[in-house]
Amino acid sequence: MPRVIACFKYSIDASELRIDPSTRKPVVEGAKRKTGDIDKRAIEEAIRVKERTGWTATGLCVGPQAAREAAREALAMGLDEVYILSDPAFEGSDTLATARLLAAAARKLGDYKLILCGEMALDGLSAQVGPRLAELLDLPQVTYVRKLSVEGEKLTAERDLEEEYEVVEVELPAVVTVTREINEPRLPSLRDILRASKKPIVYWGAGDLEVGADVVGEKGSKVKVADVYAPEVKRKGVIIEEKPAEEAAEELVKYLLQEGVLR
Amino acid sequence: MPSIWVYSEVQSVALELVRAGLQLKQATGWSLVSASLGADALKRAEELAEHGVDKAVAVSGAVFEQFDAEVYAKALAKLVGSEPTLVLVGGTKRGKELAPRLATKLDAGCVTDCIELSYKDDMIYAKRSAYGGVAIATMVSPLPLVVTIPPRKFEAAEKAAEKGSVEQVSLELPGPRVKVVEVRKKEVARAKLDEARVIVSAGRGVKAKQDLEMLRELAELLGGEVGCSRPVAADRGWFPQWIGLSGVKVKPDLYIAVGISGALQHIAGIRDSKIIVAINKDPEAPIFKVADYGIVGDLYKVIPALKNAVEKAVRS
Ligand SMILES: Cc1cc2nc3c(=O)[nH]c(=O)nc-3n(C[C@H](O)[C@H](O)[C@H](O)COP(=O)(O)OP(=O)(O)OC[C@H]3O[C@@H](n4cnc5c(N)ncnc54)[C@H](O)[C@@H]3O)c2cc1C
């Protein structure tokens, strides 16, 4: 059976990330994680493609054991199966190493027609994994897609670029990265959630994938994080509340004049 | 000796990369080389050679007519070769889909949206946003490395005293596998948000397209431009571009967020504003946490009132 694959990351939820006030460093350990907003659209789009083509919809996630939570949700939405690529040896993978793991998994699964990724992950924002995966699998890439359709072996997609929308066609298989605007991900019902509990979540570790130990994980990564800090926001925070609009506006103008930003 | 390559499909951005490249050249002593691909390649290479690169390489050919990331990555990988290199790519959307593909071909690391680059002990240090824009990370990598730099992060390089060499190269390349069948220009004119001194920015709290008029009037009065959050541009199509992490980063003297909740990704694009003003009816809206001044209230009342107050102030 042909497959549509959705790649997703169990990302750190930056909006809930705590910053250590003394070091200004994000407290990553124990931080809340979830599937990124855009990756969720990749999952949704894979399900829509499955609904139109009858292909198997498979999820791929490089992440910790706990990514099971995200996998459950993706299955409840409608994916048929999820593979979590998880191994202590994979930890610290940069974008190239991550793409290598995904490519190895896609090869092992076989018969992939369409591989969907989010434009970027919610935490890392690197926007690299899709194009890297395309290169590793020697596939064409179609990025920033806000609309797509699959007919037989052909994909038509509308890309959102700075100055224009570009409509492209490509023979499948291909790698596509989607934008936030491509769809509105469905909320699974209780029934979906119960039904999904029978669907398979498979863990693949280093022994399951044909990828050299020297090119994945921290050791196999070229780019490393030397330092991270959260710059302090120094804003005045003068809030005008519970005043009639006219009065509030005049007060604001007074402040702006003091700041010298009105001419 | 390693070299620094610069490439952007947008010539003005390529000139900015030359400046970034020259700074690194000074720190490293490496040579600075540019690549120009496609139509006018030679002309563009000539210009880059006049602006400080040691060598400007031009490759023309029909395969470059359409920007296909795969084809362009192949071409650049061939030019760059297997020597240790730092490749600077202009961080347009096209540049950002090209860079990781090129990096993979070169078996190299890649850092996108780099805001600061430096060199120490054979390693490149590249700063960028992390954790959804909450933090700044310093990434470190040996060569080869591909880095994208956002447009207008650097000023264009100035004319150099000495002109670099220009080299025309021909490459054997397969055509694109992706076929462009239609291009639709975004209708609405593109405001120069990254240069604007004042920006009045519309969020989803602005209900109808015609309501933008009142924001426009206010912006005009303040000598500024109207911008917006991502959903207002990307979902509603009222603007060709949005402000934020995945859009334009702005640095006006005055940024007025109107009916914008203040999502992290939006904030990441306005952080460099001198003064941030928020107008929102929800006192709990996160935008107030990053604002210098805020009015809690209905924008449909506050904006007309603000317009009057500004008019009064500038008259006196
Ligand atoms: C990876 C990623 C990248 C993203 N990049 C960007 C980006 O670059 N830029 C960006 O903007 N977003 C970006 N987003 C989206 C972002 O997360 C938010 O969804 C978006 O910024 C919300 O836009 P908004 O504030 O206009 O809308 P909302 O969050 O819906 O806020 C509307 C606000 O208007 C207020 N309001 C409503 N009516 C009134 C009224 N009558 N008077 C006063 N106030 C009123 C409400 O109280 C509310 O606070 C990105 C998301 C992701 C996942």
A134-146: per-residue pLDDT in tens? 999 999 999 999 9
* Preferred mutation among B110, B114, B218, B230 to probe A, highest tally of A CBs within 10 A: B110
What is the per-residue burial (b if ≥16 Cβ within 10 Å, else e) of B135-145?
bbbbbbbebbb
Q: Is B188 on the interface with A (CB under 8 A)?
A: no
Show residues of chain A in contact with B177, CB under 8 Å.
Answer: 140, 170-171
Contact B309 A246 (CB under 8 A): yes
Q: Kindly state whether A92 is in contact with chain B, defined as any CB-CB distance less than 8 angstroms.
A: no
Taking residues A206-229, report their average pLDDT.
94
Ligand 1 contact via B58 beta carbon (within 6 Å):
no
Tell me how close the Cα of B286 comes to any Cα of chain A, in angstroms: 10
CB-CB neighbors (< 8 A) of A143 in chain B = 69, 93, 97
**Is the sign of the CA dihedral A65, A70, A72, A74 positive or negative?**
negative
pLDDT for residue A172 is more than 90: yes
CA distance B296 to B284: 9
Which of B152, B254, B151 has its CA nearest to residue B197?
A: B254
B204 Cβ below 6 A of ligand 1: yes
Closest CA to B12 of B182, B151, B220, B159: B151
B81: part of which helix (H) or strand (E)?
Answer: none
- The 10s digit of each residue's pLDDT in A80-110 is 999 999 999 999 999 999 999 999 999 999 9
Q: How far is the CA of B261 from the centre of ligand 1 (A)?
A: 5
Enumerate domains of chain B plus CATH numbers: 3-169 (3.40.50.620), 198-315 (3.40.50.1220)
Yes or no, beta carbons of A140 and B70 under 8 Å apart: yes
Is residue B315 less than 8 Å (CB to CB) from chain A?
no
Q: Is the CB of B249 under 6 A from ligand 1?
A: no
Cβ pair A240:B178 closer than 8 A: no
Residues 66-85 of A with CB under 8 A from B: none
Model confidence band, residue B302 (pLDDT cutoffs 50, 70, 90): very high
Q: For residue range B118-174, list pLDDT tens digits in order.
A: 999 999 999 999 998 889 999 999 999 999 999 989 999 999 999 999 999 999 999
pLDDT at site B289: 93
Residue A242 CB coordination number (10 Å): 8
Q: Is the pLDDT confidence value at B189 over 70?
A: no
Distance CA A35, CA A41 (A): 10
A183 in contact with B at a CB cutoff of 8 Å? no
Cα–Cα distances in Å, from B42 out to A1, B6, B37, B47, B167? 49, 15, 9, 9, 8
| Token pair recorded at residue A180 | 């936030």
- Whether the link from the prior residue into B286 is cis, omega within 30° of 0, is no
Please state the ipTM of this predicted complex: 0.93
List b or e across B195-212, with b for residues whose CB sees 16 or more CB atoms inside 10 angstroms: ebebbbbbbebbeeeebb
Q: Is residue B190 pLDDT above 80, yes or no?
A: no
A252 CB within 8 Å of a chain B CB: yes
Q: How far apart are CA B143 and CA B272, in angstroms?
A: 31
pTM for this model (two decimals): 0.89
Element (H, E) at B54: none
Going by pLDDT thresholds of 50, 70 and 90, the confidence category of residue B314 is: confident
* Interface residue A34 vs chain B (CB under 8 A): no
Query: At what angle are helices A129-136 and A95-109 packed, to 10 degrees?
Result: 50
Pairing of strands B31-37, B55-59: parallel
- Res A213 pLDDT > 80: yes
B266 lines ligand 1 (CB under 6 A): yes
Do A9 and A64 touch, CB atoms closer than 8 A?
A: no
Number of residues that make up chain A: 263
Res B188: pLDDT:
64
Torsion of CA A153, A156, A159, A165, to 10 degrees: 160
Q: Could you tell me if the CB of B251 is within 6 A of ligand 1?
A: no
Determine the distance separating the centroid of ligand 1 and the alpha carbon of B263, expressed in angstroms. Answer: 6
**A187 and chain B in contact, CB less than 8 A:** no
pLDDT at residue B79 above 90? yes
DSSP B15: H
CA A84 to chain CA centroid, Å, is: 14
